A and B are shown apart, each in its own frame.
Chain A
Amino acid sequence: MNDLDDARLRAHLERRGGAGSPPDTLPAAIHERASSIAQQRSVPAPALRLRRGWLALAAVLAGTAVVFASAGFKLPLPAPEHGLQATPSPVPPRVTILGAEDFARLVAETPVAAWGDRVAIVDARIESRDFFCAFDPVPAPCPIGHLAGTELLVWPDSAPVYEDDVEASRQVGEFDGPQALRLASTGHVELIGSVRRFDGAIAWQLDSMVTWIRRLQSFEHPIGPDGISVGPLFVVDAWLVAAMEPLRCRAPEGSAAPLFACGRVGFLTPEAIQPTRIDGDTIFTAVPEGSVRVQNLAYETFAPDARWSTDRLAEPRRALYLVRSIIDFPQDSCFMCEAAGQAFVVARIDPIAVSPAGEN
């Protein structure tokens, strides 16, 4: 194709966009949407001016009020205001990486009743195999392969963030390197997916993960059924906290992602930051600086020793969290998503003790 020279290419591109004019109504439509965001951010609605003594009752009856400010509130450790006990962790949590044999021994030695959906990071290869599984009347769960060097069968994730993840886990490219494996209560070892390394290590700092996610945003990536495009798995060393549940917040229209709508909003933060502050009769909640918005109820589900103060403020908890990054997100569907990024918390990665080889 020698006839597509620079000048002709430019002429075509000029033609495509050059003569178009935006509709006159466009600035007004933008103003309307921006204006509604501005109101959400700054207006302390009368209903929010509750007496603190009424908060518990009001929260039980209808959720809790939120006023947006511009940043989170760093907690003075170890004894912050409001009686919060943020867990000071002078020693960063360490991730246990098991080899295939150690993991197989752990599986063999631990009764299924004690598995409790724990997730382990295993540096091993998973060899995929074709299995003949029943499809009548409904498709039955079917293993996807086995842990190399062992006879341990590996099954697809039974609780994927998205169904597409199951398919992704079947792709050969997903099978190298450290894997997040769940000891599911069903008695199956499930593959959640490959965990991305950072400079040879497994645990990421929050800001490094955010930088990576932003880089991934510039690449082409498939979009999921809710308009959400998920990215790789990360193990991140961060604090998990929840905002006080809002009394009132406008549910995003046609919310594509209910877990990111109104409710007990969760954040991963680089430090112990409390998103909600009570000042006299008014509650302020802010998106913490440098935070990653995670799904509602993540704090209750995954924070170690999740606990609320008498003011119903969540105490930030530091741990290693396994998260599925979100590359693209329909922002209009997301409440308090002015964070640096978004992710699903999939599990908490706790230390795992394995008996030495040869020991019973």
Chain B
Amino acid sequence: MKLELVEAARRGDLEAFDALVRQEVRGVYRTALAILGSERDAEEATQDAFVSAWRSFPRLRDPDRFDAWLGRIVVNACRMTLRRRRSIREISFDDRPSGSNDPAALDPTVLAAEADAFDRAFERLTVDERALLVLHYRDELGLREIADRLGVREGTVKSRLWRARRSLEAALAEERRP
């Protein structure tokens, strides 16, 4: 079903594209939200990603690879959104992900203060580092799938993932310093 929608959207069928958007928008938005940490930014990145996909559909050679292709577009959209925001970004309470206080989403041992420290530390990472961590730990993608999405080699993903993890730990240590 999804493959048919992708094929039709590639041919310029706007209705099929709309259906595809409805099907995928939640997942894309959540990935963007995890990377960007702001609902407003996630909304903007999600919108840009789908519009960019619509523009680029004729260049999608293999519809079977739609997920990886869209994933790469999403990461690029997050990168662009973050850069636009970087100079004016201030974290406000309104910007916090709506799930940040949702007890069901939290391990009971994770305190609110720790969540704050984590978010601040995460914001210090580059968007590529964030994307790697989100795709691997949250979306549980393997190295090969991430390599596909980011357009780099598997070995590169492995080394960058390691570095991203170290960067996050260092940033977290910095945030927790009294």
Nearest-neighbor residue (CB-CB) of B131 within chain A: A218
Query: Are A9 and B133 in touch, CB under 8 angstroms?
Result: yes
Contact A16 B51 (CB under 8 A): no
Instruction: Determine if B128 and A219 form an interchain contact, defined as CB atoms under 8 angstroms apart.
Output: yes
With A11-B106, A18-B105, A22-B46 as given contacts, are A34 and B26 in contact (CB-CB < 8 Å)? no
Cα-based distance from A19 to B18 in the complex (angstroms) = 24
Residue A10 at the chain B interface, CB threshold 8 Å: yes
10 A–B pairs (Cβ distance < 8 Å), ordered by A: A11-B105, A13-B34, A13-B137, A16-B34, A17-B134, A20-B30, A22-B25, A30-B46, A328-B80, A331-B52
Answer whether residue B4 sits at the interface, using C-beta atoms and an 8 A cutoff. Answer: no
Q: A26-B29, A30-B51 are in contact. Are A19 and B34 (CB under 8 A)?
A: no
Find B138's partner among A13, A27, A330 (CB 8 Å cutoff).
A13
**A-B contact count, CB below 8 Å?**
161
| A interface residues with partner B (beta carbon < 8 Å) | 1, 4, 6-23, 26-27, 29-31, 33-35, 37-38, 41-42, 70, 214-215, 217-220, 223, 227, 229, 328, 330-332, 338, 340
Could you tell me the distance in whole angstroms from the C-beta of A225 to the nearest C-beta in chain B?
11
- CB-CB nearest in chain A for B54: A34
Are A29 and B169 CB-contacts (below 8 A) given A8-B107, A21-B26? no
Q: Are B172 and A16 in contact (CB under 8 A)?
A: no
Given that A33-B51, A219-B128 are known contacts, is A4 also in contact with B169, CB under 8 Å in the complex? yes
Q: How far is the CB of A269 from chain B (nearest CB, A)?
A: 16
CB <8 Å contact, A26 and B43: yes
Q: How far is the CB of A306 from chain B (nearest CB, A)?
A: 29
Rounded to whole angstroms, the CA-CA distance of A9 and B106 in the bound complex is 11
| Interface residue B58 (Cβ < 8 Å from any Cβ of A) | yes
Given A26-B47, A41-B12, A218-B151; 14 other pairs, CB 8 A cutoff: A1-B173, A12-B110, A13-B138, A14-B105, A15-B100, A15-B110, A16-B122, A17-B32, A22-B46, A34-B17, A37-B51, A37-B55, A217-B76, A331-B52
**B128, A218: Cβ atoms under 8 Å?**
yes
Q: Mark B69-88, 1 if CB is under 8 A from A, else 0.
A: 00000001001100110000
Q: Say if the beta carbon of B66 comes within 8 Å of chain A.
A: no
CA distance in complex: A19, B137 (Å): 16
- In the complex, the answer to whether B42 meets A20 with C-beta atoms within 8 Å is yes
In the bound complex, what is the Cα–Cα distance between A33 and B80 (angstroms)? 18
Query: Which chain A residues lie closer than 8 Å to B165 at the CB level?
Result: 9
Asked if A30 contacts B47 (CB within 8 A), the reply is yes
Residues of B within 8 A of A328 (CB): 79-80, 83
Closest 8 pairs (CB-CB, A-B):
A19-B99, A17-B34, A13-B138, A22-B29, A1-B169, A17-B33, A17-B30, A34-B54
- Contact string against A for B residues 123-161, beta-carbon threshold 8 Å, 1 for contact and 0 otherwise: 000111000011001100000000000111000000000
Measured in the bound complex, the distance between the Cα atoms of B39 and A17 in whole Å is 9
List CB contacts (< 8 Å) of B5-21 with chain A: 12, 14, 17-18, 21
Contact B83 A223 (CB under 8 A): yes
CB distance from A334 to the nearest CB of B (A): 10
Bound-state Cα–Cα, A55 to B22, Å: 44
The answer to whether A31 touches B18, judged by C-beta atoms less than 8 angstroms apart, is: yes
Give complex CA distance A1, B165 in Å: 11
Which residue of chain B has its CB nearest to the CB of A19?
B99
B63 close to A (CB within 8 Å): no
Task: Please give the distance in Å from A223's CB to the nearest CB on chain B.
Answer: 4
Is A30 a contact of B50 with CB atoms below 8 Å? yes
Expressed in whole angstroms, the Cα–Cα distance for A150 and B124 within the complex equals 46
Q: Which of A18, A38, A214 contacts B14 (CB 8 A)?
A: A38
Query: Which of B56, B102, B138 has the most chain A CB atoms closer than 10 A to its own CB?
Result: B138
Chain A nearest CB: distance from B125 CB in Å?
10
Min Cβ gap B11→A in Å is 10
Q: Is the CB of A42 within 8 A of B105?
A: no
Least Cβ–Cβ distance between A164 and chain B, in angstroms: 14
What's the Cα separation between A38 and B145 when bound, in Å?
31
Residues of A within 8 A of B52 (CB): 331
Q: Is the CB of B100 within 8 A of A16?
A: yes
Nearest A residue to B56, CB-CB: A338
Contact of A22 among B14, B43, B102, B152 (CB under 8 A): B43
Q: Please, which residues of chain A bring their CB within 8 A of the CB of B21?
A: 27, 30-31
State how many angstroms separate the Cβ of B104 from the closest Cβ of chain A. 8
CB distance from A21 to the nearest CB of B (A): 7
Interchain CA distance A14-B80 in the complex, whole Å: 23
